[in-house]
């Protein structure tokens, strides 16, 4: 059995397309027309065991945006995605002892409910961030998809806090500022900074916020919910997106990256299938290798004092000259110049 999913695999719980449909209908869209070209029917979305593919979900989203004419529809869909629709995980979130514990549970089990996304928690100094990045490419719905998750996370957090707004410091989003960006502050966080064209999406909050207790959480219910989640939602590598899997495999290795055939073997598929599926996702093994090297190079240049020559070898470059050329292509500057700039901050 292959260890990844693609856009055509049925992995997405039906509550996601159902919320899209109902939100669009409330905004005047024809229910029948929303299903055009999706291969889905209203009856399919009533089964708790039914899952749809991201191709089918994408068709619904495209129809919804076209029929409503609303470029900010993702914000409304996210706002309508409540904790109750997260099943056993929602039960666990509501009964976690603190905000931080709820976020930890979301990171542990979220892949079952939003399989296209990689969730993680980060903490630096007085700030903490819930990061969410694409496990499979979501273009041409990148803005819509990020807005759904961004708005849904806000809906969940407000529910945990009894309706109170979240003390967000900053929101980082990996796309150019859309024309309707003013709605982000008007509808969500009036005092937060919004940063566009960021490397990855993050919702940044004060670190102290994670320790905020949830006053109506029940410890016994939390234990029961954790047991249910652990039983119903065991980690399954086939629920990781293909691009996410390849990125992880490339990120785990130093030096010369594993070849295409080696990665295909690890993922229990053929090189031909792997190459074809990556192409469908508008990327390639070569592009992902380049991306992995760039991320590690930028991190090391700013935080590691190892000589440039050794750093180049550790990244798998045959010569320091080829590394310098690659770094200049990635960043517009040289490794030495960037290290000097980072040291002066």
pLDDT at 36 over 80: yes
Global model pTM greater than 0.75: no
| Secondary structure (3-state) at 127 | strand
User: Distance between CA 191 and CA 14 in Å, rounded?
Assistant: 35
Buried b (16+ CB within 10 A) or exposed e, 10-36: ebbbbbbbbbbbebbeeeebeeeebbe
Decide if 128 contacts 205 (C-beta within 8 A): yes
Please tell me whether residue 66 adopts helix, strand or coil conformation: helix
| Domain range 253-343, CATH architecture | Orthogonal Bundle (1.10)
DSSP run (H or E) holding 203? strand 201-206
Identity of the highest mean pLDDT range in 85-94, 109-118, 187-196: 187-196
pLDDT tens string 248-285: 778 766 667 888 888 888 888 888 888 888 887 778 88
- Other residues' Cβ atoms within 10 Å of the Cβ of residue 326: 18
Distance CA 247, CA 244 (A): 5
Residue 59, pLDDT above cutoff 90? yes
Distance (Å) of CA 335 to CA 250, 312, 320, 339: 22, 10, 10, 6
In this prediction, residue 237 carries a pLDDT of 46
H-state helical runs in 36-167: 54-68, 73-79, 87-94, 99-109, 142-160
The residues near 296 (Cβ < 8 Å, ≥ 6 apart) are: 251, 315
- pLDDT classification of 238: cutoffs 50, 70, 90: very low
Please give the Cα distance from 196 to 174 (Å, whole number): 6
pLDDT band at 57 (very low <50, low <70, confident <90, very high): very high
Reported as a pLDDT band with limits 50, 70 and 90, residue 227 is confident
Residue 106: name the closest of 166, 56, 33, 156 by CA: 156
Peptide bond into 305 cis (omega under 30): no
- List all residues 6 or more positions away from 198 whose beta carbon is below 8 Å from its beta carbon: 172, 173, 174
Cα 93 to Cα 102: distance, rounded to the nearest angstrom: 5
Residues 6+ apart with CB under 8 A from 314: 254, 255, 300, 306
Report how far residue 150's alpha carbon sits from residue 201's, in angstroms, rounded to the nearest whole number: 9
Task: Give the phi and the psi of residue 71 in degrees, each rounded to 5.
Answer: -65, -20
Rounded CA-CA distance 301/336 in Å is 8
Among 155-164, 213-222, 279-288, name the one with the lowest average pLDDT. 279-288
d(CA 194, CA 201): 11
CB count, 10 Å around CB of 230? 14
CA–CA dist 255, 261 (Å, integer): 17
Calculate the CA dihedral of residues 175, 181, 185, 191 and round it to 10 degrees: 60
**Domain spans of the chain, in order of start:** 71-232, 253-343
Contact assessment for residue 170 and residue 126, using Cβ atoms and an 8 Å cutoff: no
Higher-confidence residue: 182 or 259?
182
Give the model's confidence band at 234: pLDDT under 50 very low, under 70 low, under 90 confident, else very high.
Answer: low
């Amino acid at each position: 059995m292959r260890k990844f999913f693609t856009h055509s695999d049925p992995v997405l719980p039906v509550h996601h397309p159902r919320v899209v449909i109902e939100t669009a209908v409330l905004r005047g869209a024809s229910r029948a027309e929303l299903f055009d070209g999706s291969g889905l029917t209203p009856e399919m979305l009533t089964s708790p065991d039914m899952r749809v593919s991201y191709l089918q979900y994408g068709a619904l989203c495209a129809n919804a945006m076209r029929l409503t004419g609303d470029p900010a529809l993702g914000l409304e869909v996210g706002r309508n995605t409540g904790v109750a629709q997260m099943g056993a995980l929602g039960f666990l979130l509501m009964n976690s002892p603190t905000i931080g514990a709820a976020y930890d549970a979301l990171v542990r089990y979220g892949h079952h409910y939003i399989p296209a996304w990689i969730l993680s928690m980060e903490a630096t100094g007085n700030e903490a961030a819930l990061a969410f990045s694409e496990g499979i490419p979501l273009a041409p719905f990148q803005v819509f998809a990020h807005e759904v998750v961004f708005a849904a996370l806000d809906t969940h957090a407000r529910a945990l806090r009894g309706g109170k707004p979240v003390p967000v410091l900053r929101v980082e989003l990996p796309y150019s500022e859309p024309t309707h960006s003013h709605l982000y502050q008007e509808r969500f966080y009036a005092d937060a900074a919004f940063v566009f064209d960021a490397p990855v999406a993050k919702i940044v909050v004060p670190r102290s916020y994670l320790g905020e207790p949830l006053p109506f959480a029940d410890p016994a219910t939390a234990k029961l919910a954790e047991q249910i989640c652990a039983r119903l939602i065991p980690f399954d590598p086939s629920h990781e997106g293909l691009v996410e899997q390849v990125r992880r495999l490339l990120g785990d290795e130093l030096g010369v990256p594993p070849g295409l055939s080696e990665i295909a073997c690890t993922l229990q598929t053929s090189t031909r299938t792997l190459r074809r599926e990556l192409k469908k996702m508008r990327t390639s093994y070569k592009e992902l290798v380049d991306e992995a090297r760039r991320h590690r190079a930028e991190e090391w240049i700013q935080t590691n004092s190892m000589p440039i020559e050794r750093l180049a070898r550790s990244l798998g470059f045959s010569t320091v000259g080829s590394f310098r050329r690659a770094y200049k292509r990635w960043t517009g500057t040289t490794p030495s110049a960037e290290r000097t700039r980072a040291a002066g901050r």
